[in-house]
Structure 1
Amino acid sequence: MTPALNVSNINGVLLELDKIIAQCEREGSREAYFAVLYRQMTEAVRKGISDNIFEDCPRMERLDVIFAKRYISAWHCYRNASPCSLSWQTAFDACKKNDLTVVQHLVLGINTHINLDLSIAAAETAPGQDIFKMQTDYDRINDIIATAANDLQIRLEKIWWPMKLLTRISNDRHKAVINFSILKARQTAWASAAAMAMTEGPAEKNYITGLDNGVTAIANRIIDPGIWAASLLKIVRWSEERDVGKIISLLK
């Protein structure tokens, strides 16, 4: 049994994420990059629940816990050489690569956790027609994420110094990259959650398997985006911070 199964509230989620981040820091593992981002998003949602901005705050906390447990469980399974989803296996394996940019690692985590895990968690939190009662609160999280993503972009400028120059040239338009990735993923996840909420049994399992395969295909394109994009990413990788421990500190 993984520690994730003992998590029952959002504060417990944050504690588990802190443990993952601390272990990754000690090991100098790139797995910490997404864990740090996810902790920041979770803290922002926790504040939203505390501020009572949702129509149904207890339901949103249940969603957050179910959602987080999928990532935490996947991380522990991977670390213990136990089976996890193919898309998480791909994302975690990529953390061993030295030639990917920090943004690629972050987007790999975003892709798997939102496109796969969020869809499943939302359908589990509100099965059947209840899924549509949750849409307003689900959409409200987008505003929270947008703020957190903009804060992240500022930290990324410290990791890849040319981004500061890009900020002046583009009038901050490039700051939409991470935010766009998250919001587009959440839109796709909602469509998948709505479909999944109406299925059960073998049909649901088949849907999840197909979804996992599709998310893995996206992950592989993030890792190997083609010759032209790869050439540009090599330039970014060459000029960004190399020390994993320092990058983790800068992302916090």
Structure 2
Amino acid sequence: MAQLEQFTTPVDTVVSRMRALDAALPERDGIAVFNRVYLAVTEEVDRQIDAGRFTDPAAAITLDVRFARRYLAAVDAAADDRRPPACWRPLFQFRRHPGVRPVQFALAGINAHIGHDLALAVVDACRSLECEPAELEDEFDRVGDLLVTLEERVREDLMPGPDLLQIADPLTHLIGSWSLERARDATWAAARALWALRRLPDVAEEFTERLDAAVGFAGRMLLTPLPGVFEKARAAGV
């Protein structure tokens, strides 16, 4: 129990930081939209850890904290006029664009965080815990299952209603082109590859840069402005 308490404070710290961001950012800011989604996930992970639903609580907390810190580091970089990782740049660039819908912001943030940050967080956690990725697979899968459930809720809550399906058809097509399940599978493969490459730092660095760029490209596609959809939806009161 003492060992678990030792790991609890960092989770509380990242949750507090995300709550502060939620309070400070305008509601429709793209970062705020994603932050609300991610805060809900982190709070749920914390509740499940406290309820004993993770096989290895210390490993789960380590992975959760390493994961969250990468997102918060991107926020800090943008606030300090430094360049965040390529996977995050589209969201920061388009965060106030009137032609981008909230569901696009949410999924672009999930894409950046899952597609890039989670793979690196697995490697960070393995180094910290001195273990192999396979030893974190249960924790990875449980966090992934929570994200899939949340993604479904995001699509339900932020997509236009049935009366706007014709208006939102381009948006429906765009959002339907991305899958968290596929992103999660690719992330686990990337984490294992990076771990295997840890003794080849030049190759690992190139792999990481290409992963970052590829995830950023997907994020830019998810944030394609749809001004016609936006204007008509606004006129309809949504």
TM-score (norm 1): 0.75
List gaps (5 residues or longer) in structure 2. Answer: 1-7, 166-171
Q: Mapping of 1:210-221 within 5 angstroms?
A: 210-221=210-221
Alignment identity in percent? 23
For residue 188 of structure 1, the aligned residue among 186, 189, 194 is: 186
Q: CA deviation at 1:14?
A: 0.8
Indicate conservation of the 8 Å contact 2:116/2:211, yes or no: yes
The answer to whether the 8 Å contact 1:87/1:213 transfers is: yes
Q: For residue 148 of structure 2, what is the aligned residue in structure 1?
A: 146
What is the aligned residue count? 216
Deviations along 1:135-165, one digit per CA (max 9) or x if unpaired, are: 12211223323333344344325xx3x2478
**Aligned-residue offset at 1:69:** 0.5
Say which SS state the counterpart of residue 26 (structure 2) adopts: helix
Specify the alignment match of 1:90 in structure 2: 90
Give the Cα separation in 2 of the matches to 1:164 and 1:152.
Answer: 18
Shift of 1:239: 4.4
Describe the superposition over 1:163-188 as per-residue Cα deviations: whole angstroms up to 9, x where unpaired: 4786xxxxxxx9xx78x733322111
Displacement of 1:217 in angstroms is 1.7
Does the alignment pair 1:107 with 2:100? no
Structure 2 equivalent of residue 170 of structure 1:
none
Q: Which ranges of structure 1 fall in alignment gaps of 5 or more residues?
A: 1-6, 167-173, 225-229, 248-252
What TM-score, normalized to structure 2?
Answer: 0.79
How many Å apart are 1:66 and its aligned residue? 0.6
> What secondary structure sits across from 1:87 in the alignment?
coil
Shift of 1:12: 1.1
Q: Are the equivalent residues in 2 in contact too, given 1:129–1:197 (CA < 8 A)?
A: no
Residues 164 and 145 of structure 1: CA distance in aligned 2, closer, same or farther (over 3 Å): farther
Partner of 2:5: none
Alpha-carbon deviation of 1:238?
3.3
Contact 1:13–1:68 (Cα < 8 Å) also in 2: yes
Matched position secondary structure for 1:55: coil
Contact 2:98 2:230 in 1 (8 A): no
**Range with greater deviation from structure 2 (103-112 or 64-73):** 103-112
**TM-aligned CA distance change 1:190 to 1:163, over 3 Å:** farther
Structure 2 counterpart of 1:237: 230
8 Å contact kept, 1:107–1:181: no
Partner of 1:47: 47
Equivalent pair of 2:91/2:219 in contact (CA under 8 Å): yes
Question: What is the SS of the residue equivalent to 2:115?
Answer: helix
Structural RMSD (CA): 2.7
Following superposition, the deviation at residue 234 of structure 1 comes to 4.8
CA distance in 2: counterparts of 1:197 and 1:93, whole angstroms: 31
In 2 relative to 1, CA 164–15 (structure 1 residues): closer, same or farther, beyond 3 Å? farther
Q: Is the 8 A contact 1:77 1:83 kept in 2?
A: yes
- Paired letter, 2:58: P
